[in-house]
Structure 1
């Protein structure tokens, strides 16, 4: 199939692009590069040996997106474009509502107009709220989520469900993603966040001397060591879930499906710290920080439905997550190079010029 991947130049997106191409699909990427990097697509091409067209446009720009549907002969869509919490100053509810809902509206209109009948979209464990029932299963209510981001994720799911059920022939699958970590084992692609990022990136920054210490949100949580516990899933396992969902969504006998994409194993922040220290052989300094409102003490998935219906289950461990992330961060301590017309060779591989088709938080939150 020829699959359009929105947000394909981002962290999860670039790994999903590689997984889709390796599964035999043709892939086209749309990304406005607000959170992605063209070098990620360039490196995905190097890893797979296949050209991946990159359209640098905003998914919410309906005229630009319509031109892409008009020329690329899209057969299915994997929707990963959206704004997520990063801890950046100035990030507020309007950013989440305008970006996440607007992009979904535009994408669905173009799919309906052009007869594209298969969509897999990323959602978030945030729909379960800050005090989720654990393990969280897909049949739990999501209307009580208490963050702006979680509400936009829940609203987006509702939009997708309503449109799928009203549009004959359309099949939509949603993956509720838990905490992604790690990187491609080559060290070529990973989380591009030299000044921030998630837990693994912040741990690497401490080891590399970029950050003085890691902030852990609280030590009084009702967990074995007092630190928050999260469901950490390797980004390559997460990418494999999107591949499995693309195949399955056209086969299930219902217009709308939801699956958890998590490991089903809660791991505390301090457990991750100790594992990262063992992998790197370096000590990680950390301190206890204030617990932001809306911080869940424990969050992890019940992934049994994904295993039953998609044939998917994560195969990599938290140690694999730490080792693969550290390999990426050692080789790319400042993230991807900030070039638009090409990129420098990455250590351990051969770089090449990027072909542009068109132009157009502290841990525990």
Structure 2
């Protein structure tokens, strides 16, 4: 039977089920002795073959955990780093059920230089997917410094450490928020970046600039920034999905929690936008499609012969949906009637944005294949498993 322990230093050897587990843990912490953060996960059985190891920061999060699954399915070996500040350790059990084994996971802060360096010394990493970041638009408006410090410092640390350990390939988790409120739709990668509508969006724009400038300085890093639109859904197994802490900041978990009776009603923020029904328009992409885009991005980076390169790619469906249409489709697909009210606009929200995905289709040889209806059914199945 496979298992995964969360180990908090210091520990007595009586904590461990088997002497071998204690010995392995001690050796691991000897290797990681430079770190002040002595909290790590000791896994049961993991492959020891020649699969390329990919560091996945924020790998226990919503998009990160689904990408871990897609990486394993594609023949990569993910190594998760996550401080669980915006995720839960139960995600690891879901991954184990889907994959039939454990994955390596270090519960460390990606801003902890000693911890990150110790992990890179231990693991022979061949590429990085950087998800770790705070992501709530509304909170970023209220606490901008929290977002600038966390989201930017962790990226800069990675860019400093990657060349030191010979790691060339980086896939960065960017966002359509860098476009602000675009003047023309759909947005292409050449659409001018307008001032972000929130500090969160601004951290993504600044992060892209940091990566671009690093590459232009001939630092040997090959990077792709994937500008996500709105990820929704859950793994079809209902073993992993979105786990918002507290009140959801995103539409779909708020819908599913309202449908489950956890929330008394859903507030639709703004019904006076210049859209067909007055509500915001977004490009909603199934999280598994998004995860598969990361795998394709890694593959394309590995095919490059240049030492330093940088590009940006939109990842979406190319279709815009209003909030009210999302509610209508959810009700049709699940048979659950939603209680919702119309409220004022929310600070930081843009009116409408959806992607031109031509570049993703051509460069990554990737396209989103899952429908809105499928995404909403998977999200509801996940919520039903979580219970009310």
Instruction: Answer yes or no: is the 8 Å Cα contact 2:137–2:199 preserved in 1.
Output: no
256, 275, 298: which one pairs with 1:223? 275
CA distance in 2 between counterparts of 1:133 and 1:216 reads: 24
| 1:318 counterpart = 2:372 | yes
Q: Give the C-alpha shift of residue 42 in structure 1.
A: 2.8
- TM-score of the two chains, using structure 2 as the length reference: 0.83
TM-score calculated relative to the size of structure 1: 0.88
Determine if the alignment matches structure 1 residue 251 to structure 2 residue 297: no
Gaps of 5+ in 1: 335-365
CA distance in 2, matches of 1:184, 1:137: 28
Partner in structure 2 of residue 341 of structure 1: none
Superposed, 1:145-224 pairs within 5 Å as 145-193=196-244, 195-197=246-248, 198-224=250-276
Q: 1:115 matched to which residue of 2?
A: 166
CA contact (8 A) 2:87 2:244 kept: no
Indicate whether 1:286 and 2:337 are aligned: no
CA contact (8 A) 1:132 1:299 kept: no
| In 1, Cα distance between equivalents of 2:193 and 2:167 | 28
**Residue matched to 2:70:** 19
Q: Kindly indicate whether the alpha-carbon contact (under 8 Å) linking 1:130 and 1:294 is maintained by their aligned counterparts in 2.
A: no
Instruction: Please state whether the residue corresponding to 2:321 is helix, strand or coil.
Output: strand
In 1, distance between residues paired with 2:81 and 2:364?
26
Which of 276, 284, 288 is the equivalent residue of 1:232? Answer: 284
Provide the residue aligned with 2:386 in structure 1: 332
Secondary structure, counterpart of 2:283 in structure 1: strand
Deviation at 1:141, TM superposition (A): 2.1
Partner of 2:133: 82
Give 1:144 deviation, angstroms: 2.3
Shift in CA distance, 53/37, structure 1 to aligned 2, threshold 3 Å: same
Contact map agreement 1:128 1:141 (CA 8 A) in 2: yes
1:31 counterpart (82, 88, 91) = 82
Which residue matches 1:344? none
Residue of structure 1 in register with 2:187 after alignment? 136
Deviation at 1:87, TM superposition (A): 3.9
By relative contact order (CA 8 Å, sep 6+), the higher-ranking structure is 1
Say whether 1:55 aligns with 2:109: no
Instruction: Output the aligned Cα RMSD.
Output: 1.6
* 1:120-179 CA distance string (max 9 Å, x none): 010011100034531111112225223211111100001111112223532011100110
Rounded Cα–Cα distance in structure 2 between residues aligned with 1:285 and 1:326: 16
Q: What's the counterpart of residue 326 of structure 2?
A: 272
Q: How far does residue 222 in structure 1 lie from its aligned partner after superposition?
A: 1.5
Say if 1:54 and 1:91 are closer, same or farther in 2 by CA, change over 3 A: farther
Secondary structure, in 3 states, of the residue corresponding to 2:125? coil
The CA deviation string for residues 269-307 of structure 1, in whole angstroms up to 9 with x for no partner, is 111101111122111011111102332221101111010
Q: 1: CA distance between counterparts of 2:72 and 2:151?
A: 26
1:6 aligns with 2:6: no
Deviations 1:302-352 (A, max 9, x none): 111010000111001110111000000000136xxxxxxxxxxxxxxxxxx
How many residue pairs match? The answer is: 334
Which residue is equivalent to 1:127? 178
Query: In structure 2, do the counterparts of structure 1 residues 89 and 164 end up closer, same or farther at CA, with 3 Å as the change threshold?
Result: closer
Structure 1 residues 270 and 285, CA, compared in 2 at 3 Å: closer, same or farther?
same
Q: Distance in 1 between matches of 2:141 and 2:230?
A: 23
Secondary structure at the counterpart of residue 299 of structure 1:
coil
